[in-house]
Amino acid sequence: MSEEADLAEDCKTIPENCNTNSALSVDCKDLHENGHSNSGVYDIYPYGDISRPVKVYCDMETMEGGWTAIQKRVDGSVYFGRKWADYKNGFGSPEKNIWIGNDVIHQLTKGRNTYLYVSITHEEKGKLYQIYDQFYVSNETEKYQLFLTGNSTGTLGDKMRKKEGSPGAINGMFFTTIDKDNDNFARNCAIDQPGGWWFNRCGNTFLNGPWATQHWYRPWNPLFISGEYIKETMMLIKRH
C-alpha cells in the first residue's frame, strides 16, 4: 500500500489528520519528483485535503515530465457543449477525455509560477505544441478569467494572445458556456460553437468544439481552421 493510501485509511479513523497533510501530492510534478515516471492516471490533492482527491492524467514524458492535464481529448465520446456547473466541477475521465474543472485549474495555478503546454495532434500535420511561461485562471467570482504572460514558444504559434485588442485574442477573457455568456460577441460564442472556453469574438483558439467535424471552428486559426482531422488535444500545466 502506498503512503497516500495509508493516509487515506488513517483519515477514516482520525478525521483531524485529513487536512493539509504535507505528504500529499498537490500535482503531477510532486508525483514525478517522488519517483513516479510512468504517464497515466493518478490522484492528486490540490486542496491539501486527503478527503478531496482529484483524479488526473499525468504526463511524465513530455519535456522532463511532471505535467498535469487540465484538458485532454482523444475522441468524441464525451460531449463538451456543457453548462457552467460542468465546467466548474469538471467532467469526463482522465484516461481519454476530460476537463479537470475550472475550480481545480484555479486552485492549481493560484500563487504559483505555472507553465501551460498546449498540443494538437492532426491527422496530416502530426503533433504541434505551444508553451506559455505563465498561466493563471482566477476564481468563479471573477468568472475564471484567463491570464497568460511571459514568453511563448512552439510550433503552433502564439494565437491565444495574438495582438493586444485583437478580437481573436483570448488572454484576459472570462470563461463562457452555453448558459453564461461572458464573451465580447453580440451572440453567445458557446452556443454558436458548442463548448465552454475563454471566448472573445469568438477567437482564434478553441479546443473544446464538436469533435472532429467541420462545425468545430478555428481550433487554432489559421493553422487549423476546423477540427475535422484533429486526433488529440491536450492542455498541460506544471509549476516552475
% of the chain residues with pLDDT over 70: 89
Q: What is the pTM of this model?
A: 0.90
| Total number of domains constituting the chain | 1
- Contact in structure between 116 and 142 (CB atoms under 8 Å): no
Provide the residue range defining the domain that includes 58. Answer: 3-239
Task: Quote the pLDDT of residue 6.
Answer: 52
Task: Quote the pLDDT of residue 20.
Answer: 43
pLDDT band at 21 (very low <50, low <70, confident <90, very high): very low
Task: Quote the pLDDT of residue 16.
Answer: 41
- Give the mean pLDDT of 225-230: 96
Task: Quote the pLDDT of residue 15.
Answer: 40
Task: Quote the pLDDT of residue 163.
Answer: 62
User: pLDDT (tens digit, 9 = 90+) per residue, 170-207?
Assistant: 999 999 999 999 999 999 999 999 999 999 999 899 99
- Kindly report the CATH number assigned to the domain that includes residue 165: 3.90.215.10
Taking the C-alpha atoms of residue 71 and residue 67, their distance in angstroms, rounded to an integer, is 12
User: pLDDT (tens digit, 9 = 90+) per residue, 58-82?
Assistant: 999 999 999 999 999 999 999 999 9
Task: Quote the pLDDT of residue 136.
Answer: 98
Q: With helix as H, strand as E and coil as C, how does the chain read? A: CCHHHHHHHHHHHCHHHHECCCCCCCCHHHHHHCCCCCCEEEEECCCCECCCCEEEEEECCHHHCCEEEEEEECCCCCCCCCCHHHHHHCEEECCCEEECCHHHHHHHHCCCCEEEEEEEEECCCEEEEEEEEEEEECCHHHCCCEEEEEEEEECCCCCCCCCCCCCCCCCCCCCEECCECCCCCCCCHHHHCCCCECCCCCCCECCCCCCCCCCCEEEECCCEEECCCEEEEEEEEEEC
Task: Quote the pLDDT of residue 164.
Answer: 56
**For residue 17, pLDDT beyond 70:** no
Task: Quote the pLDDT of residue 111.
Answer: 85
- Contact in structure between 169 and 163 (CB atoms under 8 Å): yes
Q: Mean pLDDT in the chain?
A: 91
**For residue 10, pLDDT beyond 60:** no
pLDDT band at 165 (very low <50, low <70, confident <90, very high): low
- Give the mean pLDDT of 121-128: 97
